[in-house]
Amino acid sequence: MDQTSPQNEINPDRLIEITLDQKSLGRVHANIEHEREVAIFDILDGNAFAIEGLKQGPYKLNLSVIEDRLVLAIVNESDVEVLQHHIALTPLKRIMKDYFLVCESYYEAVRTAPPARIQAIDVSRRALHDEGSQVLREKLANQIIVDDDTARRLFTLVCSLHWKG
């Protein structure tokens, strides 16, 4: 999966391309695939992504999972490697597990449940998503600075990589 930003912004502290390692992707159902595509589109539409102490952007990001670690391989516009950052997924595992369960409930509810039930499940889903994005942002903070929206969408992508359903 490869998408490039249509924007031609001046701010260099941003992502202009995101790829997901095909070997890291598990089989997913249409809802997860859709969330992945929307997250990439939304990130590229507007994001804040800076590398501590460097001004080499805009950046291209490849996400993969290797041995239970999230790997962010970052290159500049000229495809010169800027940083490879590894994050242990352990701090995110409980949140992701709960998030996946709530998402499954949400997708099932959308088909059959009354609006009040769907809304209640969605509140739980959003709360877990917020918690996961905050943990991810904290794990990135020593080298990569992102805004809240970018962290939320990156969490969606991390979940889509980790999802093996």
Question: Could you state, in order of their start, the residue ranges of all structural domains in the chain?
Answer: 2-162
> Are 126 and 23 in contact, with CB atoms under 8 Å apart?
no
The encoded tokens of residue 46 equal: 């507007």
Q: What's residue 49's pLDDT?
A: 96
Q: What's residue 23's pLDDT?
A: 78
Q: What's residue 7's pLDDT?
A: 45
Write down the residue that tokens 């994050």 correspond to: 87
Q: What's residue 159's pLDDT?
A: 87
CB-count burial class (<10 Å; 0-12, 13-18, 19+) for 30: exposed
Phi/psi of residue 101, each to 5°? -65, -45
Contacts of 78 (CB under 8 A, 6+ apart): none
- Map residue 135 onto helix, strand or coil: helix
Instruction: Point out the residues of the chain with pLDDT beneath 50.
Output: 2, 4-9, 165
Q: What's residue 162's pLDDT?
A: 73
- In the chain, the percentage of residues whose pLDDT exceeds 70 is 90
Q: pLDDT tens, 80-116?
A: 999 999 999 999 999 999 998 998 899 899 999 999 9
Which pTM was predicted?
A: 0.85
Query: What residues does 66 pair with on adjacent strands?
Result: 69
